[in-house]
Amino acid sequence: MPTVRYEIDNRVAWLTIDRPEAHNALSRDVREGLFAGIHRFNADDGARVLVLTGAGEKAFCSGGDLKEMNATGLTVPPPDFLPQIGRNVEVAKPTIAAVNGIAYGGGFLLAQQCDLVVAAEHARFAVSEVKVGRGSPWAAPLSWLVPPRVALEILLTGDPIGADRAREHGLVNDVVPLADLRERTQRLAERIAANAPLSVLAAKRTAYLSATHPRAEAYDRAEEIWDPVYRSADAQEGPLAFREKRAPVWTGT
């Protein structure tokens, strides 16, 4: 059986780590399956949004497979050790983490790199590397996502934080009962998928500009990003549909 499953539900791709007996730990098979699933999503014109989740009720992903790391004597992970969206694998379309349980270490990484996060009420997040003598260079963006002192507490203690506190600090968008996690995440993804595709892609790029560019330069880059959107057929279709009191028919052109 595959350790990572890919399925489409109404233009939403669900990529599920299916190793619940090991808390969905990042074995080699899982890492390779995640890479393959992300590349498949990138090439899938029928999928507008990617949702990353884990199987079972206990773990989204517990992080690296420590038994495997010990057996292989892993020291410094290579750059392509596991997918880091926006760093070693680009994903232009929106991504959502549906966190169904613990997200520790590499599991925290996977959730952090997604654009949005919906968490079950019992979900817990931790950059636990300091507790096992490992490293977390991938956590460099954390202080852009949450206040610096919160980031420091997470990184220095390695202690988990609950879903509600993660939402308070902006790491999580919504917290829902576990039984509702799939439905609520699907609805969020469908709301995004229903929007003009070129505008969605440009909006995602715009949101990240402030992380890498000074303010004035970010404005200039945003103008460049949105220029072809303004000139697209969809930019005419939206106002026309409003005038004709109907749903727009997006072509992505």
pLDDT of residue 224: 94
Evaluate whether 65 touches 25 at the Cβ level (below 8 Å).
yes
Question: Which residue in 199, 192, 234, 250 sits closest to 11, CA to CA?
Answer: 192
Residue whose token pair is 């233009």: 11
Which pLDDT value is given to residue 134? Answer: 81
Render each residue's pLDDT in the chain as its tens digit; 253 residues: 789 999 999 999 999 999 999 999 999 999 999 999 999 999 999 999 999 999 999 999 998 777 777 777 777 888 888 999 999 999 999 999 999 999 999 999 999 999 999 999 999 999 998 988 888 999 999 999 999 999 999 999 999 999 999 999 999 999 999 999 999 999 999 999 999 999 999 999 999 998 889 999 999 999 999 999 999 999 999 999 999 999 999 999 9
Task: Provide the 3-class DSSP secondary structure of residue 182.
Answer: helix
Give the pLDDT confidence score for residue 68 in this predicted structure: 76
- Which residues, other chains included, contact 170 with Cβ-Cβ below 8 Å and sequence gap of 6+? 145, 146
State residue 48's pLDDT score.
98
Rounded CA separation 148/52 (Å): 26
pLDDT for position 225: 94
| Segments making up each domain of the chain, as ranges | 4-193, 197-243
Under CATH, what is the fold of the domain 4-193? 2-enoyl-CoA Hydratase; Chain A, domain 1 (3.90.226)
Quote the CA–CA distance of 222 and 3 in Å, as a whole number. Answer: 39
| Residue-level pLDDT at 198 | 97
Chain Cα centroid distance, residue 74 = 26
